[in-house]
Chains A and B, each alone.
Chain A
Amino acid sequence: MAYGRLIRTVVFVAVLTFAGCSSDQAPKEENSGPKIDPVVFMADLHCTAVELRKARFELADKMRFMYDTIMLPATPEPYRQELQQRLDALEPYKDSIVGRSLDLAEVIKFKLDSIIENELEVGEERKAFDEKLTRLLKERGCE
């Protein structure tokens, strides 16, 4: 979790720093190396986020269904206790997956805000970005 805090702090400071940069302070094109297509960059991040989302919902469902079984009056006491132990054992995994999800969410939010505000005009450009991203995610099976 300390690593997660470090990541979050670094991202936060980066957000503050970049928020203060006006467009004329942006690095020149020729010095910034090959430019990565923002749609491709976002798709890379988003695909990881989709995997994490699926894992979170899968875990949430698993835990929820165990709770449901525990609460059923017909569930025998020994099985109820066993389910409770299995639920307790899932807690560290839950913390881990939530921590990773939050860290990635911050990175995505920061990058997305930066692209939207600095690289795309309101209207058609943003619409095209949304469509291209949605199409690429579909191609990659990240839905």
Chain B
Amino acid sequence: MKSPGPVLLVENLHKSFGGVAAVAGVSFALDAGEMLALIGPNGAGKSTCFNMLSGQIRPDSGAVMLNGEAVGGMAPRAIWRRGVGRTFQITATFASMTVRENVQMALISHHHRLWRSLRPARRLFVAEAEALLGPVGMAEQAERAAGELAYGDLKRLELAIALAHAPRLLLMDEPTAGMAPAERGGLMALARRLANARDIAVLFTEHDMDVVFGIADRILVLDRGRLIAEGSGAEIRADPRVRAIYLGSGETSGGH
């Protein structure tokens, strides 16, 4: 059963830190199978937005609706249980475990075996973990310590972890940062395929504009905490306000 309406609906989201507005009234919607890019200069509020969607930061006001349920202000665990997976701008994995064990932990948690099983964790959900590592290209490195992976491989591992509980929504914060240009396209094409095949809604931030314009169905442009433009790649390219903040003509900077 698919619930009607968007997977994610964000309405008038606000967050200030010490009187400075980091996110000031952001609203947007995201459908299943759609890839939405959130772009903007440094300090525009992208990561704050992400952290409010996945629960690391509590919004001051505004609504985050996930499949019609209000999840704004919930803890990261609760939001994850409702089908949101995410990767981090600065990767966060378990360094003292192998690549496979990292994925196994997500599977174990998803299947509610954290407290209930007295079996060794490394014997649980082995096949399922392998199945997740294959598509992201990490199967050969399954036995390696996560703590010694190259940065690009950590990003791939995070993607496998984020997909472990078959999420409805995937949040990817700078998924290709630190990767070689050739790898970037590959990873995002993979995300694209997954979004289509599993009907996952994907929201991502990205600095590499080739990646953004090449892969996103729709693009949101954030500047100083506000959405200043929304549309397809072609529409965004043509938008004078976007050109202003990126190219710095200064004519309409701030735009309010």
Q: Do A and B truly interact? A: no
Chain B residues close to A by CB (< 8 Å):
none
